Chains A and B, each alone.
Chain A
Amino acid sequence: MSFDNVYEALTGDGDARWAFGTGFTDPLAGVETAVPPGVDRADLTAYCLMLGDDALVMSHRLQEWCTNAPDLEEEVALANIALDLLGQARLLYARAGHADGTGRGEDHYAFFRGEEEFAGVRLVETPRGDFGDLIAKLLVFSTWRLALLQRLIPSRDPVLAAIAAKGVKEVAYHRDHAARWTVRLGDGTDESHRRMQAGLDRIWPLVAELFTPHEAEVRSARSGVGADPADLRAEFDAVLDQVLTAATLRRPDVPPDPGGRRGLHTGALGLLLAELQSVARAHPEATW
């Protein structure tokens, strides 16, 4: 298709090429939106929001590395991982809007909920830290999420099952990336070893929470929609042992900081959301 001038090229198709003011299409546009009989709508909503919040907040923390990564290839890698997780969050929020019957879109869940309504784990909120902190967090997060998504492929909710089947392919790459960096840094110089170990030590108190079930997760697991996070621990431990051994790092021996998706967050989430939500809240009538 050719255009005589730039303005025509931008507007010739209607507004579809403008980034602002067009309204993104529902990422699940045209996907069957019915909730299967026997599936509890409130639990499915809560479950999709938990997984969506984990992905959105983790994605935001990864996006903070844009222009701050140690090299260009790593910057591209982190942006790609952030984009995959943002896509997962969008699909999960769209599914939550079907499940709760409101038809609310992704913007409502991402931009117009308060900190206490976010049901993500605290691990993803923790401040950016240094590159050792980042890799420790990405290793823990992607190992846990891959084990979780893989168990959701046979979910009784077909949309959640399809989101999980896509996500498994993506997160398997994320986990390999984090694991290779962990080995390179852990089995690298004295300084890289020290900082990789310090990153693990700092994040480790928040690991136990990943395997602490919320009631909605337990009920979702029983009804065949979700997975009980407690069942993921053995696989997580086996992968972490393999990586830490190859990296000459030790598993931190620190007491857990108990928690569990109850809307109680670290102070870091409020600051993160203030930035993430500021533009949407300043222009609440805008479409994106």
Chain B
Amino acid sequence: MVTAVTDARAVAETVTDPELPILTLADLGVLRDVAEEDGRVVVAITPTYSGCPAMDAMRADLVRALRAAGHDEVEVRTVLHPPWSTDWISAEGRRKLADAGISPPGAAPRRARGPIPLALGPTVRTVRCPRCGSADTEETSAFGPTACRALHRCRACLEPFEHVKEI
């Protein structure tokens, strides 16, 4: 059965994200586990954000891919803990994001104990423009076309671009 699990994992790792199809669910860190239980393949995934509307599509895509590869009994489980972090996006995932013109996230904020400090000023990050490479960029909105992306603008080449925001 070890080989079946290995095969199932390899298949699950090819399934792409419905909203960022350049990335696999494994690149994104959403695919948490592939295991075998009582002859069934059990896949664990975690949502990026509470309201992520793509979870149903991810489940359907995983089941379809695994069935097509001969794994008839598939169960997809949701895991909420620990919460997803952009730190789980793989190095390969970051490279694919940059190649697609989307700036990959920096390190997720480390929260000390106690109240979370308020950020009243604009977010200052070293975000490089994925088109021209300049670090002279600014955030135009912390909220973008999907829950995980923010809107930025390059002051050097003047192009707008998206940045996967750190959580």
Contact = CB atoms under 8 A, between A and B. Distances in A.
Interface of A: 13-14, 16-17, 24-25, 27-31, 73-74, 76-77, 79-81, 83-88, 90-91, 146-147, 150, 158-159, 161-163, 165-170, 172-173, 175-177, 179-180, 183, 235, 238-239, 242-243, 246
B96 interface: no
Interface string B43-59: 01001011111011101
Interface residues of B, number: 40
A183 B122 CA distance: 12
B51 A85 contact: yes
A105 to B, nearest CB: 14
Contacts of A83: 49, 51, 53, 147
B50 A80 contact: no
A147 B81 CA distance: 20
11 contacts: A25-B59, A29-B77, A76-B141, A76-B151, A84-B51, A163-B80, A166-B50, A175-B118, A176-B118, A176-B119, A242-B118
B125 interface: no
A198 B22 CA distance: 47
Contact of B77 (A31, A158, A173): A31
A175 B77 CA distance: 31
B120 A170 contact: no
Contacts, number: 126
A88 B147 CA distance: 13
B70 interface: no
Given A29-B76, A169-B83, A246-B120, A147 B142 contact: no
Nearest to A246: B120
B64 A166 contact: no
A16 B81 contact: no
B79 interface: yes
Q: In terms of DSSP, what is the predominant structure of the interface of chain A?
A: helix
Contacts of B57: 16-17
B165 to A, nearest CB: 8
B81 A146 contact: no
Contact of A88 (B50, B77, B83, B140): B50
Contact of B142 (A17, A31, A90, A173): A173
Contact of A87 (B50, B81, B142): B50
Nearest to A175: B118
A238 B115 contact: yes
Interface string B139-154: 0111111010001000
Contacts of A146: 116
Contact of A91 (B50, B121, B151): B50
A80 B115 contact: no
A180 B116 CA distance: 16
